[in-house]
Amino acid sequence: MRDAPYVGLLPLYIALYDEVRPEARPEMQAFADRVAGTLEGAGLRVERAPIACLRHEVEAAVTDMMHREVELLATLHLAYSPSMEAIGALCAAHVPLLLLDTTPAERFGADATGADMFRNHGIHGVQDLACTLRRHERPYLLAVGHVDDPAFIADVVTAARAAQATRALRTMRVLVLGDPFAGMGDFAAPEEVMRRRLGIESHRATVEALAQAAAQVPEEEVAAECAADAERFNLSGVSEDVLARTNRVGLGVRRMIDEVQAGAFSFNFASFTGESGVGTVPFLEASKAMARGLGYAGEADALTAGLVGALGRAGCRVTFTEMFCPDWAEGTVFMSHMGECNLALACGDTKLVEKQYAFSTVGNPAVSVPKLEPGAATLVNLAPAPHDGFDMIAARVEVLDRGPVPGFPDVPHFWLRPVDRDLRGFLQRYSELGGTHHLAMCMGDEVDLAGRMAQMLGIGFAIV
């Protein structure tokens, strides 16, 4: 089970009010506690800082939050709070910043009093701080609305999940097996650029090293994995020998992932040859790894593998996929890859089959051919951009209630359509934005999450 997003809540106030209205402090603390409790009730882990008025109080609170490694720092303005008391500490904080623009009261009408005004003018401090942050070029996000409004709470949760995904990406280690796919240029960002701009760190290893790791896996571990597969899957399409060979290589991959503490992995199937000493290609392990919450992408693509891993860390139900063939008549796209699909997204009986593998001299692997859950989904792409930049691209789509079909007996596959059913415009816009042919697909609507994540990373964002 993933960890809940970890938010540091920083209540801000003004020292003047402690001088002129000291009796108001408990009421302000009660509102801070109310906000914290509301966010905890929404599934967030909240670290509560004491109310801070002066610069040294803000600095102490922020320093403590950074030591606790919160993923998001959220300011709560209990009343007007002077921005210059907080700007230095907030600019120095190395986590995303969210300004909570909310008040205790939902209504403020003709019957309001001066006491009501005192309790509910926190937006005054939000505006001061937002302006000052922008002048200092310190990125920030906002969640705006009444504290009990479900839309406000949903915005905070989305920001917290985006911060969780951003932290995961910025600390992502990707195990890359084999050489880059020759001539494939769209996702081929230089490793130094990915590390500097996004935080993704590639750990390259040879297929020969994987062969050695697989050879060291004890027979009893292979047998245990095959027995577990018999409990989870329909094995009528695969022999015991093929399944054992596949799981031996997969368990070797797991060992290598554990050794480098990777949150994602990728491999180039073209590097898997008989001469390397490896028995087959670990497509099945890629499918299992995504179900365990790890990232994955094909063809030694550390960029997309890191994205899939980061989205998974934020609770997205996500798989690696590719657009293959358009159905112009029906306005749909056939989605597939050679043998990888997150098994946690399957519905019904999932069959393992022996894939007739013709791309090198290794043995045939076992692969899964699941039916994906139909319904709303989101395509997310992380694309290299000019000047060593990156862009995030997202699209709302629908997974059709279709498949597997007999024409594709040994590859995972499914169909989707754009929500506006304009396939021509969808494909045109996607390539105008420079989207790569490797994608993450999340079940449900995660467009806002992708957009907030892009803001936190300081990269471009577009919706197809």
CATH number belonging to domain 6-170: 3.40.50.10940
Q: What angle do CA 391, 204, 217 make, to 5 degrees?
A: 125
362, 282 contact by CB (below 8 A): no
Distance CA(156)–CA(9), nearest Å, equals: 11
Q: The domain at 173-463 falls in which architecture? A: Alpha-Beta Barrel (3.20)
pTM: 0.96
Torsional sign, CA 125, 127, 130, 134 = negative
Q: What is the mean pLDDT of each run of 10 residues along the chain (464 residues)?
A: 90 95 95 98 98 98 98 97 97 98 96 92 96 97 98 98 98 96 92 98 98 98 98 97 98 98 97 95 98 97 98 98 98 97 96 95 97 98 97 98 96 97 98 98 98 98 98
Determine the pLDDT at residue 1.
Answer: 54
Pairing assessment for the beta strands 318-327 and 332-336 based on DSSP bridges: antiparallel
Determine the pLDDT at residue 139.
Answer: 96
Name residues whose C-beta falls within 8 Å of residue 241's C-beta, 6 or more positions apart in sequence: none
Q: Write phi, then psi, for 146 (nearest 5 degrees).
A: -70, 145
Distance of CA 336 to the CA centre of its chain: 21
Distance of CA 211 to the CA centre of its chain: 31
Determine the pLDDT at residue 2.
Answer: 72
Determine the pLDDT at residue 343.
Answer: 98
Determine the pLDDT at residue 360.
Answer: 87
Residue ranges covered by each domain of the chain: 6-170, 173-463
Letter string b/e over residues 416-428, b meaning 16 or more CB atoms within 10 A of that residue's CB: bbbeeeebeebbe
